[in-house]
Structure 1
């Protein structure tokens, strides 16, 4: 079986030292950057951003939420989430109303226009995922997704520099 050091380099990395080109962390970063460019560019073409998609998806899946809850569910900092909600509200995709149980906070609700917008964004992201993963078979795509999920789950909650604990 070939090791990463034995694999030929893609043309765009032909001048990259082999030990650098074979680092999994570097490859993950390069793939993530390519995905980010593809997603951001396609969303921008319809006046949307990845955080719009995240907020709309969370609201559809879990229902109305306070800004704090929506921040936790999406990973959007609370200060940035206010701008996202303002943009989505201006588009008619969400509505913001005082929480009847606590008038000091707002509840964000997905509108029917927001659901329709989310469907359009789903289609855009589906196409972008297809293009990003084009060189992989369906089985390889599923395996990649599973492996990335395992990496993320393994490192979730660990601080940088903390040792990983194996269950062995």
Structure 2
């Protein structure tokens, strides 16, 4: 959720829930938790007075950087037996599997939704 929020700050809770495939009540609970932990904040949506736009706080950005570093280290350890071309092939195959399963593109923290490969 932090990765998606960072990539699309200002989205509504509804848009975030749709992108993640989560029920509205689950999104409310998750955003409540993020706010309580000072990782995200709701702001009035300037175009819809009934909605709130979501933004990461500085603490949320710091945590996301730490989490991405840990994920990258874990991925490197897990895939250490593959060369860069094999890793790219694996990512492409997993993206095809995810698409065939109807999973939302762009929510994986290691992938840029606008490209066909890792962000690194």
What TM-score results when the alignment is normalised by the length of structure 1?
Answer: 0.54
Structure 1: 5+ residue stretches without partners: 1-54, 158-168
Question: Structure 1 residues 131 and 79, CA, compared in 2 at 3 Å: closer, same or farther?
Answer: farther
Question: Structure 1 residues 130 and 77, CA, compared in 2 at 3 Å: closer, same or farther?
Answer: farther
| CA–CA separation in structure 2 for the residues paired with 1:75 and 1:128 | 26
| CA–CA separation in structure 1 for the residues paired with 2:24 and 2:78 | 30
| CA–CA separation in structure 2 for the residues paired with 1:92 and 1:105 | 20
Q: Deviations over 1:26-62 (max 9, x none)?
A: xxxxxxxxxxxxxxxxxxxxxxxxxxxxx22122212
Alignment length (residue pairs): 103
**Runs of 4+ displaced beyond 4 Å:** none
Structure 2: 5+ residue stretches without partners: 104-120
Task: Work out whether 1:143 is the aligned partner of 2:89.
Answer: yes
Who is 2:102 aligned against?
A: 156
| CA–CA separation in structure 2 for the residues paired with 1:105 and 1:72 | 15
| CA–CA separation in structure 1 for the residues paired with 2:97 and 2:46 | 41
Instruction: Give the drift of 1:89.
Output: 0.8
Q: Which structure has the greater CA radius of gyration?
A: 1
